[in-house]
Amino acid sequence: MPNSDLDFALLRPSSALAGLLFAFLLSVASVAQQPSATAPIVLHAARLLQVDTGNLLQPGEILVEGKQIREVGKTVQHPADARTLDLGDVTLMPGMIDVHIHLFLHPGAEDLQTVVESVPWRVILAEQAAKADVMAGFTAERDMGTEGAGSADTAIRNAINQGIVPGPRLRVSGNAIDILGGHEDANRYNPAQHVLSNADYANSAEQLVEVMREQHKEGSDFAKIYQTGPDKMVQGVLHSPYQYSAEQLTAAVNEAHRLGAVVAVHAMGEPGALYAAQAGVASIDHATQLSDDTIRLMKEKGIFAVPTFTIFEYFAKHTTGAAEGWSEGSLLDYKVSEFKKQVAAGVQYAVGSDVGPFPHGTQGRELELMVQYGMQPLAVLQADMINGAKLLGWEGQIGQLKPGFFADIIAVRGNPLDDISAVEHVTFVMKDGTVVRQ
């Protein structure tokens, strides 16, 4: 049967349709001439800080290709297809690193969060926390325990890695590990209610190994162990009961090494810190009280101390009563005094804030406090970026602005070598070569 007039009209383009087709082809050609999303990027700023040497390039430029830095200098190549971002009167720096965070905590009663809030709800809050941290310029972090949410941090890490949600590079531990009646157990509740611990129980070396294997199966990158607690001030001196012997911690460290991982401990003071150093842990977090023997072993074995001043300051300022305020204030004063001795003794530091109980995205304060209490700005930046990269197992990949490193780059107002508070005024964030904030 012959085609109808309508059929023929549909098969034969009209002049109007031809015009639309021509316009579409022109638009396609125009788009093809635009830089692609993967085109090189040149970042230009008034200053660029080379953290390893303290040199300040003025001006500074970085050529980024894909996920990596290709060139750094006062001027760099400008490929024909590159986009140039002039960031103005700012200092370019590597992305900051926070080696002690809690994505699954937020301000409020910490022990109640695991009782009142469901794990799905806490995952949603953790996603928002991760976004707040990376927007504040922290492009890599170590999550030191989900506080009762198990391996839920594995999902957050994987979602970030797959580009589903924004956030920093993460090393995660799952739940921390604790003894029965230990630091994170539900000690203040009616035992008949069987309130769960915020950590996984391990009461022996064998149980430590068993728990670590389960956590590794569920996606953990390292093990976080509570080594002291409950910690308190007694007549102006820190009282810090230990939880595990040196032999038990050594079993945990050996198992971690078998798994290609490390152990980090919560250890406020002695003798728990000494036992951790003898076992060869990767970091002693809080590290309020360190004996001469502990410091010697830490220096010999390359163990980092992580002071976490910000959480102590926060608790000292946000207390529920005069007695508690006196206790927290005394603890902070004691910690500052001990920190100055540690700095003089040459302790190696990494920077961790313990963010979670105070708002995410505000932990730049930690770098300020470390300067306030005795370190030089460059030394703090090196502790944050260079030592932080080592502790997280990303040495040679992040923490410096060098060719071949991942393009984790931030810009801050002012010069952090003159005023470290510049780290709290982040205006630009790039992670993995992708602009996160501008």
Tens digit of pLDDT for each residue in 326-352?
567 789 999 999 999 999 999 999 999
The helices-and-strands tally (H runs, E runs) of the chain is 14, 21
pLDDT-derived band at 114 (thresholds 50, 70, 90) equals: confident
Instruction: Indicate if 15 and 50 belong to the same structural domain.
Output: no
Task: Please indicate, yes or no, if residue 350 is contained in any of the structural domains.
Answer: yes
| Residue listed under structure tokens 């700095």 | 343
Residues 6+ apart with CB under 8 A from 97: 138, 139, 140, 141, 350, 351, 384, 385, 388, 389, 392, 398, 399
Percentage of the chain exceeding pLDDT 70: 90
Whether 433 shows a pLDDT value over 70: the answer reads yes
241 in Cβ contact with 284 (< 8 Å):
no
Instruction: Indicate if 77 and 113 belong to the same structural domain.
Output: no
For residue 255, which amino acid is it? E
Residue 3 is predicted with a pLDDT of 43
Whether 115 shows a pLDDT value over 90: the answer reads no
Instruction: Indicate if 41 and 159 belong to the same structural domain.
Output: no
**Angle between helix 365-372 and helix 309-317 axes, rounded to 10 deg:** 90
Tens digit of pLDDT for each residue in 193-230?
878 888 999 999 999 999 999 999 999 999 999 999 98
Domain end position, chosen among 345, 363, 381: 363
Instruction: Indicate if 291 and 434 belong to the same structural domain.
Output: no
What's the rounded Cα separation, in Å, for the pair 421 and 366? 10
Task: Please indicate, yes or no, if residue 273 is contained in any of the structural domains.
Answer: yes
Show the 3-state SS of 288-314. CCCCHHHHHHHHHHCCEEECCHHHHHH
pLDDT-derived band at 13 (thresholds 50, 70, 90) equals: very low
Task: Please indicate, yes or no, if residue 394 is contained in any of the structural domains.
Answer: no
Model confidence, pTM:
0.90
Higher pLDDT, 34 or 100: 100
Task: Please indicate, yes or no, if residue 395 is contained in any of the structural domains.
Answer: no
Task: Please indicate, yes or no, if residue 188 is contained in any of the structural domains.
Answer: yes
403 in Cβ contact with 395 (< 8 Å):
no
Residue 29 is predicted with a pLDDT of 42
Tens digit of pLDDT for each residue in 135-165?
999 999 999 999 999 999 999 999 999 999 9
211 in Cβ contact with 200 (< 8 Å):
yes
What's the rounded Cα separation, in Å, for the pair 214 and 142? 19
Whether 134 shows a pLDDT value over 60: the answer reads yes
pLDDT-derived band at 392 (thresholds 50, 70, 90) equals: very high
Q: In this structure, are strands 200-201 and 223-226 parallel, antiparallel, or unpaired?
A: unpaired
What's the rounded Cα separation, in Å, for the pair 30 and 19? 17
For every residue of 182-223, DSSP letters joined together read STTS-TTS-GGG-PPPSSEE--SHHHHHHHHHHHHHTT-SSE
Longest dimension (CA), the chain: 105
97 in Cβ contact with 104 (< 8 Å):
no
288 in Cβ contact with 338 (< 8 Å):
yes
Which of 23-27, 50-54, 398-402 has the lowest average pLDDT? 23-27
Residues 6+ apart with CB under 8 A from 258: none
What's the rounded Cα separation, in Å, for the pair 55 and 402? 13
Residue 23 has a CB neighbour count (10 Å cut-off) of 10
Tens digit of pLDDT for each residue in 28-87?
444 333 444 579 999 999 999 999 999 999 999 999 999 999 999 999 999 999 999 999
Mean predicted confidence (pLDDT) in 391-416: 98
CATH number (domain holding residue 66): 2.30.40.10
Instruction: Indicate if 56 and 11 belong to the same structural domain.
Output: no
Task: Please indicate, yes or no, if residue 388 is contained in any of the structural domains.
Answer: no
What's the rounded Cα separation, in Å, for the pair 367 and 370? 5
Whether 407 shows a pLDDT value over 90: the answer reads yes
Instruction: Indicate if 133 and 20 belong to the same structural domain.
Output: no
CATH number (domain holding residue 348): 3.20.20.140
413 phi and psi, to 5 degrees? -70, 140
Residue 304 is predicted with a pLDDT of 98
Question: Containing H/E element for 276?
Answer: helix 272-279
Domain end position, chosen among 339, 363, 387: 363
Domain end position, chosen among 363, 388, 422: 363
Residue 322 is predicted with a pLDDT of 47
Percentage of the chain exceeding pLDDT 90: 80
Residue 321 is predicted with a pLDDT of 53
Whether 384 shows a pLDDT value over 50: the answer reads yes
Residue 9 is predicted with a pLDDT of 36
What is the sign of the dihedral through the CA atoms of 326, 331, 334 and 340?
A: negative
What's the rounded Cα separation, in Å, for the pair 172 and 434? 23
Instruction: Indicate if 81 and 51 belong to the same structural domain.
Output: yes
Instruction: Indicate if 435 and 317 belong to the same structural domain.
Output: no
**How many CA atoms within 13 Å lie on the side-chain side of 83?**
15
Residue 410 has a CB neighbour count (10 Å cut-off) of 25
Instruction: Indicate if 299 and 350 belong to the same structural domain.
Output: yes
Task: Please indicate, yes or no, if residue 380 is contained in any of the structural domains.
Answer: no
- Domain of 126 in residue numbering reads as 96-363
Tens digit of pLDDT for each residue in 253-305?
999 999 999 999 999 999 999 999 999 999 999 999 999 999 999 999 999 99
Residue 324 is predicted with a pLDDT of 54
Residue 14 has a CB neighbour count (10 Å cut-off) of 10
Instruction: Indicate if 236 and 225 belong to the same structural domain.
Output: yes
Q: How many domains does the chain have?
A: 3
Task: Please indicate, yes or no, if residue 126 is contained in any of the structural domains.
Answer: yes
191 in Cβ contact with 228 (< 8 Å):
no
Instruction: Indicate if 124 and 149 belong to the same structural domain.
Output: yes
Q: In this structure, are strands 47-50 and 90-94 parallel, antiparallel, or unpaired?
A: parallel
Which of 90-104, 121-135, 276-290, 309-323 has the lowest average pLDDT? 309-323
Nearest Cα to 400, choosing from 49, 138, 141, 76? Answer: 49
Instruction: Indicate if 65 and 87 belong to the same structural domain.
Output: yes
Question: Containing H/E element for 58?
Answer: none
